Amino acid sequence: MSLVKGVPLTRRRERAVPELAGKVPVSTPAMPRAADLLPYLERIDSAGWYSNFGPLVVEFEARLSQRFEAGTQVVTIANGTIALSLVLQALELPAGAYCAVPSWTFVATAHAIRMAGLKPWFVDVEPVNGALTPEGLSACLLDAPGPVVGVIPVAVMGQPMDLSAWQGFESRTGIRVVIDAAAGFDAVIEAPVPVMVSLHATKSLGIGEGAFVACRDGDLIRKLRAITNFGFMGDRISRQEATNAKLSEYSAAVGLAALDMWPSTRLRYMNAARMLRIGLSALPVVALQEGWGLDWVSSTCVVGLPSGASEFVEAELADQGIDSRRWWGLGCHRAPAFQNFPAGDLRVTEALAASTLGIPFFASMEPDQINRTVNALSGALHRFEVMRKGSSK
């Protein structure tokens, strides 16, 4: 139940649920098909090399690094959560110190901080785009609960970020910066500080489970690679505390096939995004992320709604067979796992949690699914307004 100006908003339940013409899913992965993988799987068969930095992983990392400016290196890692944690570990940050993190992120970011032996300090984000900025963090550093040794800014739902500004923040403060660009495969293509991109099946370039870290600092990349491989550096001497978080040749096969398809996958995402944008242009209260589907794309569409409308609209859409998702829930600080960690003033995060919603979006979205989504959203917003007016009388 949402509260607007202290008045509980409840939905009318008496409307008949229409006969559903098939649900519209909130997301459908755009993964390579078996036939796309075959040439790569045959290469694995002939080489008889299945993991431990085999030829497909080497090629996949080389092709990923070409997306970044010259001099950037890439290491692939088992998944994004582990990757973030291992970067923090490679930076040798003192155990028990604080790592600032926007609460407006997926819980994985905070789990990674805990796994690295650090404590999350949840900070607020900018209302305009939901992102933590160097200025925002600088302004609240004096209120930190203890020594802050790191920060993980997040590319909100894959949107572009000013990474040079974060590099400047790191030089000025000595606080180490690691970027969580889990959904930023398309938009985040520079790495003056370490950048993690997830390759989970739900992301725009998906391989199932996987991630990569890009960085200009070759020493950090070498160390990180060793940490993914028992601390070995080309021999069998374990030089540091480490784990096994390598990608197998099979995952790299999916990655190479996904990269082959990427130009067309990206166009399909862009095309679906444009159709959805056209439909949503009839609903001026619905805000899209700046540049989404025009300058950059991701595998999700997260819209801004009138204040306090998320929960109501989510339930209304469900009644119409339209799946939606509050991808980041109520903010990380509200998750039971993190309730006992310190948090600053999180007014913007709380407001975003109550006014944003992930609506259906995928590369293969059909015009009919777009129409149904837009119509259902339009009806839900109309009912929200009627109810809000009624409850404020």
Ligand X SMILES: Cc1ncc(COP(=O)(O)O)c(C=O)c1O
Contacting positions for ligand X (CB under 6 A): 79-81, 105-106, 108-109, 154, 180, 182-183, 198, 200, 211
Closer by beta carbon to ligand X, 9 or else 77: 77
Closer by beta carbon to ligand X, 2 or else 310: 310
* Residue 341 near residue 119 (C-beta atoms within 8 A): yes
* Residue 165 near residue 180 (C-beta atoms within 8 A): no
Nearest distance, CB of residue 54 and ligand X, angstroms: 21
CA distance 233 to 225: 8
CA distance 341 to 331: 13
362 alpha carbon, distance to own chain's centre = 15
Assigned token pair, 196:
């993690």
Closer by beta carbon to ligand X, 80 or else 134: 80
Question: Residue 186: which of 62, 276, 298 has the closest Cα?
Answer: 298
CA distance 129 to 346: 15
Nearest distance, CB of residue 85 and ligand X, angstroms: 10
Nearest distance, CB of residue 173 and ligand X, angstroms: 23
Nearest distance, CB of residue 229 and ligand X, angstroms: 19
Closer by beta carbon to ligand X, 159 or else 198: 198
Closer by beta carbon to ligand X, 109 or else 373: 109
Regarding beta strands 73-77 and 211-215, do their DSSP bridges make them parallel or antiparallel, or are they unpaired?
antiparallel
Closer by beta carbon to ligand X, 81 or else 324: 81
CA distance 100 to 144: 9
Nearest distance, CB of residue 84 and ligand X, angstroms: 7
Nearest distance, CB of residue 303 and ligand X, angstroms: 17
CA distance 302 to 327: 9
Task: Kindly write down the DSSP assignment for every residue of 139-207, as one continuous string.
Answer: HHGGG-SS-EEEE--B-GGG----HHHHHHHHHHH--EE-EE-TT-TTT----SS-EEEE-BTTSSS--
Give the E-state strand segments of 48-131 in sequence order. 73-77, 98-102, 119-123
Nearest distance, CB of residue 138 and ligand X, angstroms: 22
Of the CA atoms within 13 Å of residue 254, those in its CB half-sphere come to 19
Closer by beta carbon to ligand X, 99 or else 154: 154
Closer by beta carbon to ligand X, 89 or else 105: 105
> Which residue, judged by CB position, is nearest to ligand X in the bound state?
80
* Residue 160 near residue 188 (C-beta atoms within 8 A): yes
Closer by beta carbon to ligand X, 29 or else 379: 29
CA distance 301 to 288: 8
3-state secondary structure of 384: helix
Nearest distance, CB of residue 302 and ligand X, angstroms: 11
CA distance 363 to 300: 10
